[in-house]
Structures are given as C-alpha cells and as structure tokens.
Amino acid sequence: MHLVQHLRQQGFQGEDWDFFVNELARYGLAVVSGWMRSGLMASKCAEKRIVAPALPDAVRQDPEAIDEIATETVAEAIVHFRDEVLVPGVWDPAKGAALKTFFIGQCMKRYANVARRWLNHDLRPSTEVVTHERDVLDRGRVTGVEDDVLRSLTAQRILEGVDNPRAARALVMDALGYSNAEIAIDLGTTPDGASSLIKRARAAIRRQHSTPEGGTA
C-alpha cells in the first residue's frame, strides 16, 4: 500500500496525517524559500503558466520577508493539496507524476496570490505610511519610559525612512495596543509572524540605542 492509500484509509487525519503535514511543511518551505531567494520562482511559475509577481531584490534579500511569504504560501498549499488533490483522488501514481511535484505545483499556485497580497501591503508609498503612522503614534498609549522611548525612536525611524516599513508598522500598532492577530491581518502574515517581527524590531532598536554599560540611552 502506498502513502496516499494509507492516509486515505485514515481519512487524511490523525497522527500519520499530522506527521505527513509536517513533512510537507518542511519540503515546501525549503523549495519555496530557496526559489524565492534565488529568483527562480517567477520563471518556475511562468513554466506552469502561473502569473506571479517578480520580487524586488530588497525583498529577496530580506530573510523575514522570505519567511513570511513562504510560510503563508506553504500553509495555504497544504490545505488546498489535501482538499483538492488528495481527497478527490486527483493525483494518480500510475500517471507518472511524483506526489512531491504535485505538491510543489500547488505551492506555486498559492505563491502567486500570497506574493501579490504581501507586496500590496509592503510597497505602499512611504509618504502615506508616514502621515498615517505619525497620526496614530500621536494618539498612542504610554505605559512607561521604555514605551515612550520606543515610540520616539519608532517615529524617528519612520520619518527617516525605515529600512523595513512592515516592522515599523507592526511596532506602531503594537504600541497602540493592537493584538498580534490584528497586526497579522493588517500585514498579511500570521500572528506568530507578527509577534516575531515586533520582537526583532524591538530588539534591534534596543541594540542600536543601548549604552556600553547595558543601559538604555
């Protein structure tokens, strides 16, 4: 009995399915993020007649961006692979195409939409972001000296043209008391992705502004 037959017998659920999903996640992430970093993804999609946006070099060199897009792409692909390929029995081992090829095909389909959504959020004109975020910053809550410093620094970074506008936006929303889930929706990422973006941005700001004695300037 082959893998898919075995999983079908169990209704594509349970421990074995969970194990397989984990393997799909690992394989999908490795392939999708590798193709994104190398710039191969657009041409791979074009071979399959999938119209996918080309990623700017700045995005391809940003590990956080690659991670966010690849995570969402592979997660969506897993759900559709189960519901549209495995359950209805679309994949036929007798026809020669490998199961992993089918899965990567599903990743490419999902990638096109995910990358488009991500880019629409990330590439807003910076003047719009500055105006809006300065406005919301002014109304933000202050819970302590650290938040106050972070707010000032965040505002400064935004005004100077932040390297990563997504991180700036996440920081501002966090300072205003938005939940990670709300920030994730705004940025088109996962709550975990939003959380780690905020943590990294806060850590980077602290590193930049810490004194040699370890205090905060």
Partner 1 sequence: MNKIQRQVAKSSFGSKAATAARASVSSTQAARVVNRAAQIRTEKSQDKRAPK
Enumerate binding residues for partner 1 (CB under 8 A).
1-3, 6, 15-16, 18-23, 25-31, 34, 67, 71-72, 74-76, 78-79, 83, 98-101, 190, 192-193
Question: Which of 198, 170, 167, 202 has its CA nearest to residue 186?
Answer: 170
Question: Of the two residues 2 and 95, which places its CB atom closer to partner 1 in the complex?
Answer: 2
* Shortest CB 86 distance to partner 1, Å: 12
Please provide residue 167's backbone torsions phi and psi, each rounded to the nearest 5 degrees.
-65, -40
Q: Tell the smallest beta-carbon distance from residue 30 to partner 1 (Å).
A: 4
Which one, 75 or 176, has the nearer CB to partner 1? 75
Least distance to partner 1 from the beta carbon of 23, Å? 6
Instruction: State how far the alpha carbon of 59 is from the alpha carbons of 55, 101, 144, 175, in Å.
Output: 6, 26, 34, 25
CB of 191 to partner 1, least distance (A): 8
The pair of structure tokens assigned to 21 is: 């999903």
CB 193 within 8 A of CB 67: yes
How many whole angstroms separate alpha carbon 116 and alpha carbon 120?
6
Q: From the CB of 7, what's the least distance to partner 1, in Å?
A: 8
CB closer to partner 1, 29 vs 205: 29
- Three-state secondary structure call for residue 210: strand
SS3 216: strand
Q: Which residues contact 213 (CB under 8 A, 6 or more apart)?
A: none
In the complex with partner 1, which residue's Cβ is closer, 50 or 190? 190
Chain mean position to CA 108: 15
- Residue 26 CB, nearest approach to partner 1 (Å): 4
**Which residue lies nearer to partner 1 by CB, 104 or 205?**
104
Nearer of residues 21 and 149 to partner 1, judged by Cβ: 21
